[in-house]
Amino acid sequence: MVKTCDACGLPAPLDADACAMCDRPFLSASPTGYRLSATSSGYRWTVDGHDVLTATFRDGTWDVHDADTGRALVTLVPVDDESVCRVALVDHVERVVVTFSPARWDDGSLGIVRDSFGNVLLLVRTDGPTGLHVIDLEGNVLALASTLPGRTRPGLDILVTGTRARQRIHLVLALTLAVELLRLDDLRTVA
């Protein structure tokens, strides 16, 4: 078994700490804390103060880019469907398209992520007015998120729980942006 560098695509042994080609560190399989925060041009995800992903609004969609390479990883495409805003998440890394059907933030209901065949992949359960859980079908919590303290600015603190979440890290983090934009009623849709 090997792991693959997100930046350049070079395979590496599972015990490698950094890519031999581009020297980018591999994300650990242990829990990692991310902060999603608003910027003047969109949003960014940081780990320990370092940018790892950025998101910008372009032509009715949100593009999520790797902060180091600028490569597009995921595109969020909001669409009104019978007065419900759904979000298509196009994962350019995994070459998959999924749809997020959101729940209301404050009532504890579920949001559902489905693949292009309608199969459920992930569930999003809100946790009161300030938090949420991203859960896989085996019941594993892939990520926990809560609004930033004080709610004076948009953003989330996100704990990605480990190995299982790493298999879908771009999708999980893009999903947090979709949830935050829906919470702020700032997700613009295309017809």
Residue 84, pLDDT above cutoff 90: no
pLDDT bucket at 56, cuts 50 / 70 / 90: very high
Residue 51, pLDDT above cutoff 90: yes
- Mean per-residue pLDDT over the chain, rounded: 83
Task: Encode burial over 77-87: b for 16+ CB neighbours within 10 A, e otherwise.
Answer: bbeeeeeebbb
- Cβ–Cβ < 8 Å for 85, 189: yes
pLDDT value for 149: 67
Decide if domain 31-183 falls under CATH 1.25.40.10. no
Identity of the amino acid at 40: S
Rounded to whole angstroms, the Cα distance separating 28 from 34 reads: 13
pLDDT value for 153: 65
DSSP state letters, 56-112: EEETTEEEEEETTT--EEEEEEEEEETTEEEEEEEETTTTEEEEEEPPPTTS--EEE
pLDDT value for 79: 84
Greater confidence (68 vs 25) lies with: 68
Residue 62, pLDDT above cutoff 90: yes
Strand 96-101 with 110-114, pairing: antiparallel
Q: Please choose, from the candidates 6, 16, 22, the residue with its C-alpha nearest in 3D space to the C-alpha of residue 66.
A: 6
pLDDT tens for each residue of 151-184: 556 789 999 986 666 667 888 899 999 888 887 8
Residue 131, pLDDT above cutoff 90: no
pLDDT tens for each residue of 26-50: 766 678 899 999 999 999 999 988 9
pLDDT tens for each residue of 91-127: 887 788 898 987 655 555 678 999 889 899 888 988 7
